[in-house]
Amino acid sequence: MNNQSPKLNEISQVLIELGALLASLDIELDRENRAIRHRDTDQLTSATNAKIELLQSIEISSNSLANLMVKHGYHDEQVGLKKGALAFELGDIWTAFCDRLEACNDKNTVNGRAIELSRTSTDRIISMLRGNDQPIYGRAGKMQDDYDIVTLAEA
């Protein structure tokens, strides 16, 4: 980072700060996933609240990054942000940031889907207990007695 221009140093610093926030988010997403798997509502609430706080901080830092990119000429009115040029100039810092961002996005998507499936299952059980159950149709479109099992991921 010492051989970079002052504008790249400034952008690199924000990316490093964002990377640290994403590392913390990654930890919270893992904690959220464990809470989902163990059906630990207290831990799920705690992880979700921590995740929300981190996302707010990430949004603020992302806005700072976008403003710096515009300020230092990495923005074109017709093209938008010139991420390719920045990626080339920053190299590993940009790549690590993008990789961590993608990993967090993937984990958040998996966690969201798991919560959605759990909520749907709980709603069905409550509906059945109340006597309001509707016929269940399987993947082949035929009525069935039990639910299809949806695999989220395999190791």
Domain total in the chain: 1
151 domain residue, yes or no:
no
Cα separation of 72 and 65, whole Å?
A: 10
Q: What is the DSSP letter of 81?
A: E
Distances (CA, A) of 15 to 22, 26, 27, 72: 10, 16, 18, 15
155 found inside a domain: no
- Helix (H), strand (E) at residue 39: none
The pLDDT of residue 61 is: 94
- 50 domain-assigned: yes
Share of the chain above pLDDT 70, in %: 77
Query: Residue 133: CB partners within 8 Å, gap ≥ 6?
Result: 124, 127
Domain assignment of residue 150, yes or no: no
pLDDT of 149 higher than 80: no
Domain assignment of residue 64, yes or no: yes
Report yes or no on 149 lying in a domain. no
Domain span at residue 79 reads 6-144
pLDDT for 21-75, tens place per residue?
A: 999 999 999 999 999 999 999 999 999 999 999 999 999 999 998 888 888 887 7
State pLDDT tens for residues 86-104. 777 888 888 888 899 999 9
Residue 153 lies in a domain: no
CATH number at residue 53: 1.20.58.300
Q: pLDDT grade, residue 125 (50/70/90)?
A: confident
User: Is position 1 within any domain?
Assistant: no
Q: Are 115 and 123 in contact (CB under 8 A)?
A: no
